[in-house]
Structures are given as structure tokens and as C-alpha cells.
Structure 1
Amino acid sequence: MRHGRMLVRQPEPAIYDGQMTDAIPNGTAPTGSAPGTAQITRELAQRLVEQVAPSLVHNVNIMDAGGVIIGSLDAARIGTLHDGARDAAVRGEAVHIAPGDEHQGTRPGVNIPLIVDGQVVAVVGVTGIPAEVLPVAQVLVLTVQMLLSQERQRDNASWRESAIRDILGALARGNLTESRLMAGLRGIDAPLQPPWNLTGIVAENQSVALLRGLREFTGVVAADINGAVWVLSGSSSALGHELLRQRLQRSGEPPLRFLIGRVGATMQQLASDAERLGALLARPGLLELVDVGSETRLDALGLELAIAGLPTAMIEDLAESVLAPLSAALNETARVFLQAELSIAGAARELGVHRNTLVQRLDRIELLTGLNLRQFHAAVRMRVALAADAARYVHDAQ
């Protein structure tokens, strides 16, 4: 013990255990590595100080493992060396600085090391007479440990979501064999088994709620990619998929759009479904052609997928060559008429117009484009043009 500076062993510091491992082996690791030993950045230290300081009458500082102040309500002290904190970090023990023993960079108080995974990651300091602030400092260390644990859990959750996104992205690019897919899933503690199913759920502004709800399900992993929630299911069966869809559909408001890959798929089929889903989501206007609240099989969207895979210039030409002469009202009339299976009565009802008005619009469309939409081949050409028009918008890749 030195004069005025007493070393006190910190009672039973909390030590965290368990670390996540990289999710996908062989060069397809997720963005960033799995969180290991906790680290306290300046931003986190300052946030922790601001969280706990209002409930105390004493000043609180957080120092890094080298004794440099990284969190304090006194902005002038941030970035300066605290000799007592450095001693505490080196020794792994609490350091008391008595009145009269302080010098440049230190003030009377208690400095207790924060130990995580057997390493000092920071030092928590409370200013005041050591005998008075020691109980406060000990409670404060436990509080900071709890807050750090919460931050770490959030980091782990963010890393896992990023890892899942990378796994599904690699799947869509055709970069995964089944063995590597399963190894990657084991790396995030999701040991799914074939057969597979991939489902895309399109729900505006509901991704966070959907992902939260999907955590309750075993046998699935999910991530938000290109504006949709991708759900990969293992041990896929028709019954399991139907139960999952029903529960999610009940939770969706407004109703959800389900883009369904093959149930009980092989690895080759799964990879194909992932590629199809990625292509459709890259041109999200195409999804507006899918009814809200519906369940649509990916392999039933052949025309949309064919359009999605065309060069942008060709898509533009397919749309403009037919739709350029049409007004917005005539464009909408053509779209609704085709969706109504060429039913004049059904389309008129959907548009809220008289049958004669609809017939006049169809005649006007034929005059401007040369396409009589009541005939099969003309209807197909218009359908292609409308799909190309919907595909013009390209989603920013995530």
C-alpha cells in the first residue's frame, strides 16, 4: 500500500463466457466477425456515463484499459490519462485515491476495474472520499456490467442477423453447397436440416415486427433483404409451412404478400428459388402485380422473372413500344382488364365504370396501340408491356 492509495481487491468481478464463431466457412464469412471479448468504445462509455450519472451526486468517469478517460460528464477530461485508473487496470484491483494524494490527472475517489472474459476492458471511477463512494462505485460497476451485457447481446443479435443475411445472399448468388450452407447455419446456432423451403414476405414497414415474431419459431432463420423478409425453413413440410404462413398472416397489418419457394426442396431447387426471389425483389414494381394478402409460388411468376432478367434498355423498349401512346387512365384500364381475365363485367366493376365506358376505353386502346385486348395474342403483348413498365424501378441493393 502506498501513502493515500490503497489497493482493494474487487469482490467477484462478473465474467462473461461464450463466444460466437464465424458463420460461413471457406471465404464466405459474414460482414464483421462474431463478437468476442467485449470492448468499450468512447461512444459507448459516454453513453453509459450519461445513463448512470443523473442518479448520482458524485462525478463518474469511465477509463479504457490503458487508463485514458473515455467517458465523463467533464468534457475537458476526456482523452486525458488517469493514473489511478491505469494502476487499477494493471493490477486488476480497485485503487483508492485519498484526499491529498491526488495529482495531475487524478482526483480523490475509487477506481474499480471492469473485468470481462478474464480481461480488464475498462475502469469505472467515482470521485469523492473513498470510504463514502466505495459502495456507490461497487454498485456502479455492477450496473455498467449489466449495461455492457445488454449492449453485447444487441451486438450478438446484430451480428447474427448480418450472418443470416450473408448466408442467404450467398445462397442467391449460387455460392453455397448444401454442406457449406449447413455448416454456416451451425455457426449461428441454427442447425437446420434438409429438405428446405425459402419464402419471401413483402410487408411495407413491418420487417422489424416480422423478424421479432420469427424468433419464436424453431427450424427457421430470417433476414431483411431488399425490402422483404427472407425466411429459410429446414425440415420443410407442407403442414409446417402452412402453420407458419397462417401465424404470420394473422400478425400482418396490412395483409402480407408471400412469395413461396418449393416446399420440401432439394438444395438445387432451393438455390434456384433464392435466385428467383432475388431477381424479383431487385425490381420491386413487379411485385405490385401480385395480389395483397395472397400466396404466390415463385415458379408461377415466369413472365415476371423473364422480364426481371432482361437488360434495362430492353425493358424500357418493351414498355414504351406499347404504352407510350396511352394515358394513365387507359394504362390502368388495360391492367385491370387483364387482371379480370378479360372480363368486361369484372373489370368495369373493379374500375367503378359502366360497361359501355369500359368498351369505349378498350376501343381507344386498340386505336392507339393496334392491340385488341379481347384477343389472346394482343392481351399477352399488353401483359408483357405492363410487366416491363412495372420492372423499370430497380431496388437499391442492401
Structure 2
Amino acid sequence: MMRVDKRLATQIVQTVKDVCEKDINFIDPNGMIFASTCPDRIGQFHEIGYEVSKNSKMIEVDNDNEYEGTHSGVNLPLIHHGQLIAVIGISGNPNEVRKFAYLAIRITKLLIREQELQADSRSKQEKINYIVRNLTMETPSNPLYLKELLNEFHLSKEAFMYVASIRFHSHMNTDNPSVIEADFFKILSSLTLDLFYFEYPNDYILLIPEDKLTTFLMKCQKYTKIYPMVLQIGIGSKEQIGSLNSSYKKSQIARRSLKYRKGSIACFDELDIELLFGEITDSSQKLFTDKILSSISKDDQELLRIYYEEDMSLSKTCDRIFHHKNTLQYKLNKIADLCGYNPRHFRDAVVLYLALIQS
């Protein structure tokens, strides 16, 4: 039976939320949520989703908590070739969100149809898409066909590669988005890096042979100076082709770590404290930062950032912000009084630093 894999479902829920700013769930035929814009809900039972899967009919809910694991909203069956393969639920006033539930259904069906292209009619790029997608999945959808394609493209299972997760934020630049992406693909062309896969709406997965990583990173650094804030790249670990799912997961962690560090490129092998943040939910992060920083002004927070960037050196911080040493000490003491954490004490400094880089 055809099914929607978790990666595809996650892409779709994030895309639809970007459009409507409503929470959306993908629910399997057993009523379990397997992809959601609320990570805490993944793995929970959705009573209405289960009812929809049994009857293959849309159910709308007007009140929160009327059913187990269910908020108000619209729940639609996703039928493919006469079989129910998932239920899509979107939270909110049914009259407002119904159209977005239909949008999610249409997007899903289009992407499923794309996946079902017959192998013998695939173009070269479609075959490459299949290779990249399946090498980075936990379990390839058709191992025998994947093996055929690896042989066709002369890709040895013993070869070592890195997976790069790439996200474009073209809206952050006033230039033509098509030109911005075209310039990036010139980099790939110059390095003959053609093993990449597009993930809707603005992500790419790229496979990089180990001997090309250094040059790729150097060229990308130059690119990000020309187009700042447009590109985020996470580089996974070096793995043999048969283990690229591990590199893919690590590349995702590396890309997400850019939320907490400067720059546009992050390599998993260089991460340390950022590894912890990838396992913390957004709601937990907000609770932590609000608790620690709510009593401190934005100016004081910026002062602390500079202070920690200068390794807690009073003299270097003073030189950078043009303050007298006594003035800086006064401000640090004032921050300690306001929030209860002393910026100059080791443990308190760790707490403040962690809150600052997550805010």
C-alpha cells in the first residue's frame, strides 16, 4: 500500500503553516500523529483522525478537547488509488481553515504523483533525485532499483561522501531570487556536483564527495558574502554511501544550529553545545529564555553578548563599547540584581549565555 513518509509529510505541514499560520497534523490510518507543526503532538493518538480513517469521510470539530487528542478544526481523508493512506488535520475555525486543508491534500497528491513516475521514463535528473532521496532515507523504497542506478552512475558503495542540507531564504534579498539561485548552481556546476535533490518549498539535499568538500565550503563562503542572509548550509558527517542517512540527519542538526551561531554554514563535526539545542522543543526554549531574560532590557542583553564574545574580559569589552571599567562593572552588577544571575560568576554566566544564544 502506498504511504506518505514522515519526511514528505513534515515538508507539507511546514509549507502549509507558512501559508496559513495554523497548526497541521498528518495522522496515520491507526490514528497516530506522525508529522505535525507541533512536535510535542507527534506520536499522540488523534481520536477524530482515527474516525476519519475508518469511515473515509471528512469530520469537522468546533470545540477543543471534544475528542481525545483533538482540537477544533478540519480533518480530511487522503485517498490515493481508492485507499486511505493518511488523514490531514488542520486546527482552527473550520470555516477559516477548510480551504487550507484542501490545499494540503492537493500538495500531497501532486508530490505523491511525482514520486510514482515509472522508472523507465525517468530523466537523468529524476534518476539523480531518486538516488539522493533514497540514499538519505532510513530505508530505500526500492533497494534493487537503487542498486541499478548506483551502477548506472558509477557510484561505489565504498565511496565516502558528505550530505549537505541547504535552505534558501531568497526573500531576505531584494535581488531576483532566480538569479540568486542560479549563481549558487554555478558553484555546483564548477565542481561537477550534480547529486542534489529539491525538497519543496526551498530546500536542497546535496551529496558531496570527500575530496570536494573544502573547495565547496570556500566557494560558498564567498557566495554568502555577496548574498548575505540568503543561504543556510548544514554539513553532515563523512559516511560511506550506504550510511548517508546518518549524514543527512546530522546535516539537518547542523543547519538548525545556525539559529544559535553566526554565519551561514555549519559543519556537524564542529558543533558542541548546539547539539543539545536540536533536541529541545521551541516551547521549552521560549520558557527558558523568558524566565532568564525577561527582566533584562534589550540593551543589557546586547551588552552581555559582547561581554561573552570578549571572553568576559572587562578591558576588551570596555574597548569595544567605549565604556569606563567602573561603568561596565556597575552595569553588570545591575543586571545581576535584576535577573538574579551574576554575569561574572561561572555557573550564572553559563545560564545567561545559553539563554542569550537561544533568544
Name the TM-score, length of structure 1 as normaliser: 0.46
More contact order relative to length (CA 8 Å, sep ≥ 6): 1
Name the TM-score, length of structure 2 as normaliser: 0.50
- Greater helix fraction, Structure 1 or Structure 2: 2
- Whichever of the two has the greater Rg, that structure is 1
